[in-house]
Amino acid sequence: MSDAVWITGGTVIDGTGAPGRRADVLLEGGRIDRIAAPGTPAPAGAEVVDAARQVVAPGFIDVMSHSVASLLHDPRSLGKVTQGVTTEIMGEGWTPAPAVPGEPHGFPVHGLPGGDERWAARSRTWTRFGDWLAAQEEVGAAVNFGSFLGGATVRMAARGHAQGESTPEELGRMCQVTREAMEDGAFGLATALIYPPGSYAGTDELVAICREVAAFGGIYITHMRSEGEGLLGGLEEALDITARSGARLHLYHLKAAGRPAWPLMEALIERVNAERAAGRDIHADMYLYTAGGTGLSAVTPPWGSEDDTLRARLLDPAQRARIRQAMLEPDGTWEPLGSLAGPEGVFPVGLRHPDHQPYVGRSLAEIAALRGQDWIDAALDLIAAEPGRVGSLFHLMSEANIERQLREPWVMLGSDAAGYDPAARTDGSTGGHPRSFGNFTRLLAHYVRGRQILTLEDAVHRMTGLPARHLRLDGRGELREGAFADVVIFDPAGVRDRATYADSEQLSEGVRDVWVNGARVLRGGEHTGARPGRRLYGPGRPV
């Protein structure tokens, strides 16, 4: 039986930014075999798919996915596929491999929807970065997948959760881990410099590690040291690290966090554009929401989590008092997300403890009032009592900056979220961030059709051709003959995100059909269960 698919009657937007055009498309053998003039007769034996009044585009690429745990547990990636995503690139801050000796487990059982003890046990045997991705290959996936190497994982491999400067021997171990990961196909090094233990790494240490990345033509991709009032200093550090190491630079989830930082975005954009004009390879991604999402523990100072003992410290009255004072009067050496958002702007949505269920949907200010406490004490009590990470929303950004950032041609999309099926959650938490289910469709519905910030062609380019070129994903990101058949059909008039802060786990609408490597994973908006995704490799894999 032929695997040929003839898509007819649609408007092809090819991912290059070129104007859309009517054309028919033949998929065969996992590739785009032919792009023909509209009305060309269908090849004999091909399945004919009517795409009248639909857009036919390359599959979307999520350059900042957190499907590390969920994809192994449930490889359908329903929340992403229903947005048209066909490729997920992971790795911010932490990766499950190489496993760190002495850690209780190498895998986050509670960190993301879908973590389970089966993978926690197996991940202890993953001595190299590539072992984790090989395990994902065994399971299969509906989407293509690849990853950066987590910066915290690199540091933990040599120093665990300890603060302080690394010895030459420890730095040598970090460089070895990075070199091996690049050989295994990592796209580069990914840091999250406000979260411990990754935040304990100094600039010189990161320069040395990134020299290993640069030797393979890789990328330094970073959640900068500050996205608040220290935003421009965070950028300068990232520029310094890549200038001294030779690695390419990518800024994770571009944002100015907290009202005092909002005016700094224009200066950041000007600085990046000046560096790009001078020949620097700099890109960024973003999500399209004014709230960020991370663990509630981000309201505490990073040193409170040294040796991974935050909860133990909170149970010690003297240590708790020290942490509380640091939160009450931040000293400028760390990013106090609780103060930046304010307690009325922090929503703990990942509550699992039975006693905390009345707090679901409420801000930290409201929770504190119900408990008769100051917001700092309420936050510390929740962190200490909950069985795992407390996923939380932090309302920090401005809509005006989101629109300003979208106008820059070097900005692409990253969800900063896992792709999962809300009906299959096993972690017992109460909600999440709407970006998991709506970031890509929101671009098409709100910022193209509604606000007209981008043309439809430019929006598709930002989700396809731009990230594919940036990551050097040969044969992906464009609809052209010979390219891999990662294809999405969507309704330009009806595509929309449905997930909201109050009801975050609502699947998008308007993405009708999706193929990954020529196999259909979404048919008429329904997941087929197919797992045709392939492991993707960075520039260091031996040819």
| Beta-carbon contacts of residue 440 (< 8 Å; ≥ 6 apart) | 60, 62, 83, 84, 85, 413, 415, 463, 508
Most confident of 70-74, 82-86, 308-312, 418-422: 82-86
- Report pLDDT digits (tens) over 59-82: 999 999 999 989 999 999 999 999
Judged on CB neighbours under 10 Å (0-12, 13-18, 19+), 39 is exposed
| Mean pLDDT value across the chain | 94
pLDDT for residue 437 is more than 60: yes
- Select from 99, 103, 107 the least CA-distant residue to 68: 107
- Report pLDDT digits (tens) over 457-468: 999 999 999 999
Count the neighbouring beta carbons within 10 Å of the beta carbon of residue 264. 19
- Select from 404, 508, 397, 491 the least CA-distant residue to 449: 491
| Beta-carbon contacts of residue 162 (< 8 Å; ≥ 6 apart) | 197, 200, 306, 307
How high is the pLDDT of residue 542? 64
**CA 165/CA 156 separation, integer angstroms:** 13
- Select from 432, 251, 257, 433 the least CA-distant residue to 338: 257
Q: Is 31 left (phi over 0), alpha (psi -120 to 50) or beta?
A: beta
- Report pLDDT digits (tens) over 48-58: 999 999 999 99
| Beta-carbon contacts of residue 35 (< 8 Å; ≥ 6 apart) | 12, 23, 24, 25, 26, 479, 480, 481
How high is the pLDDT of residue 105? 44
**CA 509/CA 296 separation, integer angstroms:** 31
Residue with tokens 């990161």: 206
What dihedral do alpha carbons 109, 111, 114, 116 form, nearest 10°? 0
- Report pLDDT digits (tens) over 15-25: 999 999 999 99
- Select from 85, 86, 55 the least CA-distant residue to 508: 85
| Beta-carbon contacts of residue 370 (< 8 Å; ≥ 6 apart) | 358, 359, 362
How high is the pLDDT of residue 109? 36
pLDDT for residue 113 is more than 50: no
- Select from 196, 138, 208 the least CA-distant residue to 171: 208
Percent of the chain with pLDDT over 70: 95
Are 536 and 146 in contact by the 8 Å Cβ rule? The answer is yes
Q: Say whether 234 sits in a helix, a strand or coil.
A: helix
DSSP calls for 273-328: HHHHHTT--EEEEE-S-SEEEEEGGGGS-GGGGGGG-HHHHHTSHHHHHHHHHHHH
Q: How many CA atoms lie within 13 A of 222 on its CB side?
A: 29
Band the pLDDT of 446: cuts 50, 70, 90: very high
Q: Side chain identity at 299, as an amino acid letter?
A: V
**CA 81/CA 63 separation, integer angstroms:** 14
Band the pLDDT of 543: cuts 50, 70, 90: low
Least confident of 139-148, 260-269, 430-439: 430-439
Band the pLDDT of 123: cuts 50, 70, 90: confident
Are 362 and 378 in contact by the 8 Å Cβ rule? The answer is no
- Report pLDDT digits (tens) over 278-307: 999 999 999 999 999 999 999 999 999 988
How high is the pLDDT of residue 100? 81
Are 227 and 335 in contact by the 8 Å Cβ rule? The answer is yes
**CA 395/CA 412 separation, integer angstroms:** 22
User: What tokens were used for 226?
Assistant: 């500050």
Band the pLDDT of 106: cuts 50, 70, 90: very low
How high is the pLDDT of residue 288? 98
DSSP H or E stretch at residue 27:
strand 24-28
- Report pLDDT digits (tens) over 366-380: 999 999 999 999 999
